[in-house]
Amino acid sequence: MEIITLIGTILGGLGLFLLAIDNMTDGLKYAAGASLRAVLSQWSKTPLRGIFSGCLMTAVVQSSSAVTVASLGFVNAGLISVRQALGIIYGANVGTTMTGWLVALIGFKMNIQAFALPLIGIGVLMKLIKPNQRVASLGLALVGFGLFFVGIDILKEAFEGIVKVFDISQFTADGITGVASFLLIGIVMTILTQSSSAAIALTITAASTGMIGLYAAGAMVIGANIGTTSTALLATIGATSNAKRVGAAQVIFNAATAIVALLILPVIFNLIDGLKGVLGIQADPAIALALFHTIFNLLGVLLIYPQNDRLAKFLESRFKSWEEQQSHPRYLDKTIAQTPDLAVNALVLELQSIAQKNLLLYSKFLSPNSLSSKELEHEVNIIKLLSNEVSQFIVSVESSALSNDTSNSLATLMRVNQYFLTCALSIQHLAEQAELREALAVAALEEKVANYFNEVHLFLTLASQEETQEQGLLEEKFRALSTQHDKIKAALITAATHSEITIAQMSKSIDCLAEGLRIAQQWFKAFSRINVLESEIHHI
């Protein structure tokens, strides 16, 4: 009966701890909002700065997995490069050591009842008073922080009970087999809980109560570092190539760091013993393991950072997968659908990519060797598929809790997506109409019609250029194009009235002109809205 009680207590303590980690991560992530995006994107301009920002944000939100998955989104959203994301990955591993220090310095040193329970009460009160505001997210984080230490206290009592009931002298890491066994336990614990923080806290608690030896606990901590890569690997399933590269980078970094730590395991603990003497720190297993976790992660960064460019080049030459083909999105995947601010940025980039495909399609229509009807249909189908992917992505983002500003931005992007789809269909229709149109008998009039289509191309090119942000300029160019259309249309009607061209020639030419103006109009609407959104993104 006693063993059943102990197992139930361990499960309850672990459940509380996992709930605490989840609450802390979600609460701090939502409370940070755009700040998380700003810190990781703006502070990660170089890999070295990425290390600091990744470390800081992981220490704050208490989840290296959350920061790693966010970095996947930043790469896909075009905010940072793969090289910059690598820095965040390295920093996140160092930042996750904060969990060990919380357990070692606070979890075993303070009166949990006096410290943790008031935090839970204050947090719940904040959530009740301001349920839909940032205060509620901070309250959720406080609840998580309090439950974190309650869970640690319960686990500590359960492990102390096990030590009293059972002979645990066999739980030591003797020899290669012993180290490998505890390494595997650390990996499995992290994969099952999907939280290296939970696995490390569990390990430190077990070591502090004397349930497992120091070397065994060290091997489990290394295993937790390896196991945490499972979250990133799961996030890359069906993701873009860049996401897979960043996920692979975390696996390589964590595995390399683990191998080095295992090889010099006794050396690191001897170093810790020396540091304890120099710093006058008490010989405490919890402190020793927190130091161990920090030292081997810092060592890993020092070893791999000089090879950052080589690793980035290696990864960029791999994972040339389906999403890099023309008929699949370049910037959208599920990892960023969960972060609305990132999703907006990624959608703008994806729509600009679709715009370039439209522009290329129109250029091919103008060229002497224009596309065959089959080739034209193929090109338009690619844009249709991309447009559908964009629509589905917007819907997936809309299903989560959004601010009014983000919701309006996504609605605008849905319109822009439809404008570009209409452009593609109009280009296809124009090409089909142009094939049926006979050259006009009046050479000057035929030249005006041909020149009009070239002017449309110039307008499309101008609007899609990054430096063209002035709304007034685009509006002026579109009005000029519309005026030119009306004049040519009037000239065609006059020529047909005077029997200079046939009614059929007039009708076909007017239809083609109208399609050209429709393309320009949809293009103007799309880029007018994109320019406004880009301006808002840059001001966040």
Predicted pLDDT at 225: 85
Tokens, residue 408: 């309006």
Predicted pLDDT at 357: 92
**Residues in contact with 280: Cβ distance below 8 Å, sequence separation at least 6, in sequence order:** none
What are the pLDDT tens digits along the chain (540 aa)? 566 776 777 677 667 666 766 665 566 556 555 555 566 666 667 778 888 888 887 776 666 766 776 777 667 666 677 777 888 888 888 888 887 777 777 755 555 556 667 777 877 787 777 766 667 767 776 777 677 667 666 766 665 555 455 444 455 556 777 778 888 888 887 777 666 777 787 788 778 777 788 888 888 889 888 888 876 776 676 666 777 788 888 888 888 888 988 888 888 888 888 776 666 666 678 888 888 888 888 988 898 888 888 888 888 777 754 444 666 788 887 777 777 878 888 899 999 999 999 999 999 888 877 677 778 888 888 898 899 889 989 988 856 567 788 888 899 999 999 999 999 999 999 998 988 888 888 989 999 999 999 999 999 999 888 665 566 788 899 999 999 999 999 999 999 999 999 999 999 999 999 999 999 999 999 999 998 887 766 554
Positive/negative CA dihedral, 378, 518, 359, 533: negative
**Residues in contact with 273: Cβ distance below 8 Å, sequence separation at least 6, in sequence order:** none
Instruction: State the number of CA atoms in the 13 A half-sphere of 171 facing the CB.
Output: 19
CA 214, CA 216: separation in Å to the nearest integer? 5
CA 439, CA 308: separation in Å to the nearest integer? 61
Predicted pLDDT at 426: 94
438 neighbors 508 (Cβ within 8 angstroms): yes
Place of tokens 């080049």: 313
Q: Which of 501, 291, 422, 402 is nearest to 33 (CA)?
A: 402
- Tell me, what amino acid is at 330? R
* pTM for this model (two decimals): 0.59
275 neighbors 291 (Cβ within 8 angstroms): yes
Predicted pLDDT at 521: 95
Predicted pLDDT at 4: 73
Predicted pLDDT at 96: 81
Q: In degrees to the nearest 10, what's the CA dihedral of 283, 284, 287, 291?
A: 50
Place of tokens 């405490």: 284
Encode burial over 384-394: b for 16+ CB neighbours within 10 A, e otherwise: eebbebbeebb
Predicted pLDDT at 169: 47
Domains of the chain: 2-316 (no CATH), 334-538 (1.20.58.220)
Place of tokens 């992007």: 413
- Tell me, what amino acid is at 194? Q
**Residues in contact with 382: Cβ distance below 8 Å, sequence separation at least 6, in sequence order:** 326, 327, 357
CA 88, CA 83: separation in Å to the nearest integer? 9
What is the number of other CB atoms lying within 10 angstroms of the CB of residue 21? 27
Predicted pLDDT at 242: 74
235 neighbors 335 (Cβ within 8 angstroms): yes
Predicted pLDDT at 425: 94
Radius of gyration of the chain (CA): 31
CA 250, CA 68: separation in Å to the nearest integer? 8
288: three-class secondary structure by DSSP? helix
Instruction: State the number of CA atoms in the 13 A half-sphere of 227 facing the CB.
Output: 25
The region, left, alpha or beta by phi > 0 then psi within -120 to 50, assigned to residue 213 is: beta
Predicted pLDDT at 77: 60
43: three-class secondary structure by DSSP? coil
CA 334, CA 337: separation in Å to the nearest integer? 5
CA 77, CA 345: separation in Å to the nearest integer? 6
CA 212, CA 168: separation in Å to the nearest integer? 7
